[in-house]
Chain A
Amino acid sequence: MSVNSHMPTDSSVTSPLIATVLSKLGDLVVERYRERGDERIHVARENIVIVAQQLRDTPDLSFDMLLDVTAIDYLGQPDGFQIKPQVWDKNSSAWRRIQQSRHRLMLPDRGPLSRFTVVYHLFSTSLVHRLRIKCRVPECDPNIPSVTPVWTGANWLERETYDLYGIHFTGHPDLRRIYLYDEFVGHPLRKDYGKHDEQPIQEYLGPGAHLPRRPLPERSE
């Protein structure tokens, strides 16, 4: 397995798994790729729940486990998004990378008005195969339907993606931040949130916020 023999993506090879997926989903699959032995399909975001249900309930596929939900931020793509230099750490790798390798950035993922890509990793415990689903989400309307009705485990994973990327999962039963506190401003894994950006601890606004605080006792020293 040498590097040069690897094209970034190769859709000419059709594995039995992808053949089954295509016969079940048909036109719902926008693109498909096989890369480094991983199968991945792209679907439109409004179809994600129906795709998820089909993948879980078809006996030949039976993707009963959702391993992971995450997102990728393709900031600086030629989709009209304005980079704000003042919030950027000029020495950050993301900045430099975008300057240097704009033309190389993940060509198959580029599309008009799709800054984010939401990524799902599926696994079948009975048939032991894996599949990756990608959905493009534009920056102007960062919404995608939640797959919590299909896999219960999507709950926390989607909360995490919401927390760190600011993508809203519509129909999610409990869309709260999971790592950061509720009053935190911004979404830190976005590429326009600099690594060294700081913010003061935001004021608590949750239940009981109106109650008077007991002052700290003064130190005698």
Chain B
Amino acid sequence: MRLQLGPSHPATHGTVRITLDLEGEKIVDADVQVGYLHRGFEKECETGYYYQNIPYTDRLNYSSPILCNIAYCMAVEKLSGIEISERCRYVRVIAGELSRIADHLLCVGATSMGLAAMTPFLYLVEARELVWDLLDALCGSRVTTNYIRIGGVSADLPEGFPVFCRQKLDGVAKLLEDSDKLLTDNPIFRERMEGTGALAATELIAYGVTGPLLRAAGMPLDLRRVEPYLAYDRLDFEVPIGEHGDNLDRYLVRMEEIRQSRRMVLQCLEQIPRGPVDTEDPRFRWPGKSRVFNHMEELIDQFKLVVEDSGLMPPAECYFAIEGANGEIGFYLVSDGTGKPYKCRCRAPSFSNMQPLARMIIGRRLADIIPTFDMINMIGGECDR
């Protein structure tokens, strides 16, 4: 029997269609079709200035937008060769790890709801709400943050943020432990997760899969550890790995990563130095708002930075990648020396991670698709760009 799962099926959040050939409940063939959310991200970026493209990167992975912001801005910084301040590194780590926590919370929550466990979903979404409160305090918006700037961030940490952050993260930890108790030893949850969707690490590597999926298969590859960027080389954290590479291991890896991210944020709040948060480089430093509104020179400066093609980017190309919530998110930028990228390519983890889905579900039962698809955590905006 041929069955179309999706594109608008409650379980295929992110709009994906899977054409299934079934024999009874067994899947004999599957064709995964993505692209329902294709919006021409790369085309759009080629016609916008480097600054104007930052909000677009929010819309790639809308559950951890700050990580996309960081990847894009750091790629531009690598291309233009500017250094960021020490304080900025820590602020970015804090914002990025909060974003990662929110992403993992949503992934685990949606999986539990897909497996008919409603209560943990509500707990985890409540925890995500606490993280969103923190992001709201940081950048004034909850979902599409647009927080990171080239050479800095849009605003420094607000007054009293460390206390607020510790308080909210304690709330997150409590809700996480409650959900952990409800899920991890739950026989129904375990039966759906254990042994389903498993794929060996060598095969995942051949597919280009990175992130928690690969780590759950026992491969300790985390760019924060192997190619440290920002301030990760100064932080004490562990890279959790799984053993079997099945959905249960993926779930456990994500749960542990939330705890490790919380640890990292708390360490950053201890270690963060004082100082400027923006770069001193006049090509990218935005003048302060009070000066922009009151002084002619700064007004021109800001106008030229934001609106006009200032042509300050050297003709060059570079690739820069960071560890996103779902794997390696990288930007490949080609500049021809003008203010707009000649090519702006996003290497999206969801796209590569979706590719082995057919391989994971063929020969399995129909019901195994739900936990496997959920643990891959395909984000439509990022996969389809």
Contact = CB atoms under 8 A, between A and B. Distances in A.
Contact of B227 (A1, A65, A93, A128): A128
B193 to A, nearest CB: 25
A44 interface: no
Interface stretch (B148-156, B245-253, B291-299, B338-346): B338-346
A188 B207 contact: no
A65 B205 contact: yes
Nearest to B206: A152
Interface stretch (A23-31, A46-54, A100-108): A100-108
A116 B290 CA distance: 47
Interface string A56-84: 00000000111110101000000000000
Given A1-B83, A70-B345, 8 more contacts: A65-B208, A68-B345, A72-B343, A93-B309, A101-B337, A123-B328, A125-B221, A153-B207
Nearest to A107: B315
Contacts of A70: 332, 343, 345
A92 interface: yes
Interface stretch (B34-42, B110-118, B231-239): B34-42
30 contacts: A6-B81, A6-B316, A35-B318, A36-B78, A36-B81, A37-B78, A37-B318, A64-B205, A66-B208, A67-B347, A67-B352, A70-B332, A70-B345, A72-B334, A72-B342, A93-B46, A93-B47, A97-B336, A97-B340, A97-B342, A105-B315, A106-B317, A119-B332, A125-B205, A151-B208, A153-B352, A178-B34, A189-B42, A195-B44, A195-B47
A221 B319 CA distance: 57
Contacts of B352: 67, 153, 156-157
A104 B315 contact: yes
Interface residues of B, number: 53
A172 interface: no
- The 6 tightest CB contacts between A and B, nearest first, are A153-B208, A179-B35, A179-B38, A36-B318, A153-B207, A68-B347
A189 B43 contact: yes
- A interface residue count range (under 10 / 10 to 19 / 20 to 34 / 35 or more): 35 or more
Contact of A8 (B44, B206, B315, B338): B315
A168 interface: no
Nearest to B34: A178
A132 B315 contact: no
Interface string A1-36: 111001010000000000000000000000000011
Given A68-B332, A93-B46, A153-B355, A3 B80 contact: yes
Given A1-B81, A94-B46, A35 B316 contact: yes
A130 interface: yes
Contacts of A2: 81
B206 A151 contact: yes
Contacts of B368: none
Contact of A3 (B314, B321, B354): B314
Interface in B275-319: 309, 314-319
B219 interface: yes
Contacts of A155: 355
Contact of B338 (A66, A100, A132, A180): A100
Interface of B: 33-35, 38, 40, 42-44, 46-47, 78-83, 203, 205-210, 219, 221, 226-227, 309, 314-319, 321, 328, 330, 332, 334, 336-338, 340, 342-343, 345, 347, 351-352, 354-355, 384-385
A81 B190 CA distance: 60
Interface in A131-186: 132, 151-153, 155-157, 160, 164, 178-180
Contacts of A67: 208, 321, 328, 330, 347, 352
A38 interface: yes
A101 B336 contact: yes
A208 to B, nearest CB: 12
A121 interface: yes
Contacts of B328: 67, 123
Contacts of A6: 81, 314, 316
> Which of A2, A65, A70 has the most chain B CB within a 10 Å cutoff?
A65
A97 B205 contact: no
A151 B206 CA distance: 5
B34 A179 contact: yes
A100 B314 CA distance: 15
A125 B33 CA distance: 28
B203 to A, nearest CB: 8
Nearest to A94: B46
Contacts of A189: 42-43
Contacts of A100: 338
Contacts of B46: 93-94, 195
Contacts of B219: 125
Nearest to A177: B35
Contacts of B34: 178-179
Contacts of B44: 195
Contacts of A195: 43-44, 46-47
B332 to A, nearest CB: 7
Contacts of A93: 46-47, 309, 338, 340
